């Protein structure tokens, strides 16, 4: 009998973290963060990490885990998450992955292509070609050598186009073929995936409320501390850093920084929905305005029992 592994995924501001604690308490679970920003120390307010008093109730992993000075990528996440997952199962508990980072989620489920194929000179050559002839020129090349990858990559996504061509040039094998040879946890465990949804109006309201809480909790001072160190490229992408930096540099008033955070968080929600909606393995739960956490947990528990 395969061990159970549960995922709670979906866009930000749907209540995954709070629901996860209640679910974990019901099934003897431990939570592993699947969030590319909550992994960083010193960004707890910005990344909406639950307060310590709540996290003490249920053991959390990969939260406030590394310094934002260091790059933390999907390869490191996969390595650390699988190690933690195995330890949780060994101790007779159920791992519950919670987060909205679609790439982390997919890499853990389906594996990742880690073949060492990086070639700086080749990559620079391809970027020069794109600059001279446009990304469509390289996209047409990708369509010829790897039709499967080109069908999944947008013609403007130059980074992924170049990566796919690079892999083919270095190995003679399309990246789509390599990806099929990768191994994730989906076939090793009894994986149950639940996606949380709320109405657009509710998500908008929750994002506004969360943004106000962030400022009351001292996010401006947190950003000041973060800006004193050289942040990794990944950490720099956190919504709020650029927006609050603009306020600190007197480019606009505080209210505009708040508005920008809300606006850019909504854009993030849209990207997350686009990513997760492609995955037909997800069991979506559309949470009604008057629906309680206990009612949502009952839906999940009923599914897990089957």
- 141: CATH: 1.10.20.140
Same domain, 206 and 280: yes
Same domain, 128 and 103: no
Same domain, 224 and 276: yes
Same domain, 89 and 230: yes
Same domain, 101 and 127: no
Q: Which domain holds residue 135?
A: 120-180
Same domain, 216 and 244: yes
If the chain, 306 residues long, is cut into consecutive pieces of 10 residues, what is the mean pLDDT of each piece? 96 96 96 97 96 90 97 91 97 97 92 73 91 92 92 90 88 80 86 97 97 98 96 94 97 98 97 94 95 95 89
Distance CA 13, CA 102 (A): 15
Same domain, 158 and 175: yes
- Predicted TM-score of the model (pTM): 0.82
Neighbour count for residue 159 (Cβ, 10 Å): 11
Domain termination residue (choose one: 131, 157, 180): 180
Q: What is the CATH number of the domain that holds 295?
A: 3.40.50.300
Helices (H), 102-174: 102-110, 120-133, 135-145, 147-152, 158-171
Dihedral pair phi/psi, residue 170, rounded to 5° = -85, -30
Same domain, 196 and 283: yes
Same domain, 150 and 18: no
Q: Specify the number of domains making up the chain.
A: 2
CA 31 to chain centre: 15
Please report the pLDDT score of residue 144 as a whole number: 94
Domain termination residue (choose one: 139, 161, 180): 180
Please report the pLDDT score of residue 115 as a whole number: 61
Same domain, 138 and 283: no
Same domain, 98 and 126: no
Q: What is the DSSP letter of 194?
A: E
Same domain, 158 and 202: no
Q: Report yes or no: 281 and 259 within 8 Å, Cβ to Cβ.
A: no
């Amino acid at each position: 009998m395969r061990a159970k592994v549960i995922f709670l995924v979906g866009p930000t501001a749907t209540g995954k973290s709070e629901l996860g604690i209640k679910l974990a308490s019901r099934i003897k679970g431990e939570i592993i963060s699947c969030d590319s920003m909550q992994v960083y120390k010193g960004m707890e307010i910005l990344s909406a990490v639950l307060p310590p008093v709540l996290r003490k109730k249920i053991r959390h992993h990969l939260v406030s885990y590394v310094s934002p000075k260091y790059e933390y990528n999907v390869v490191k996440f996969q390595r650390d998450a699988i190690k933690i997952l195995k330890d949780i199962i060994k101790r007779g508990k159920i791992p519950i992955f919670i987060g909205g980072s679609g790439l982390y989620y997919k890499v853990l489920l389906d594996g990742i292509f880690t073949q060492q194929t990086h070639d700086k000179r080749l990559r620079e050559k391809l970027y020069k070609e794109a600059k001279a002839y446009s990304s469509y020129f390289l996209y047409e090349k990708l369509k010829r050598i790897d039709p499967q990858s080109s069908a999944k990559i947008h013609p403007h996504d130059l980074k992924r186009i170049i990566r796919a061509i690079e892999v083919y040039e270095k190995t003679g094998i399309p990246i789509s073929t390599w990806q099929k040879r990768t191994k994730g946890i989906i076939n090793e465990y009894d994986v149950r995936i639940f996606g949380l949804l709320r109405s657009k109006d509710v998500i908008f309201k929750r994002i506004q409320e969360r943004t106000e809480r962030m400022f009351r909790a001292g996010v401006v001072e947190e950003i000041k501390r973060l800006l004193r160190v050289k942040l990794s490229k990944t950490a720099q992408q956190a919504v709020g850093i650029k927006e609050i930096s603009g306020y600190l540099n007197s480019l606009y008033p505080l209210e505009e920084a708040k508005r920008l955070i809300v606006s850019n968080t909504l854009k993030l929600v849209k990207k997350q929905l686009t990513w997760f909606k492609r995955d037909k393995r997800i069991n979506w739960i559309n949470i009604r305005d008057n629906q309680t956490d206990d009612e949502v947990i009952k839906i999940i528990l009923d599914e897990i029992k089957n």
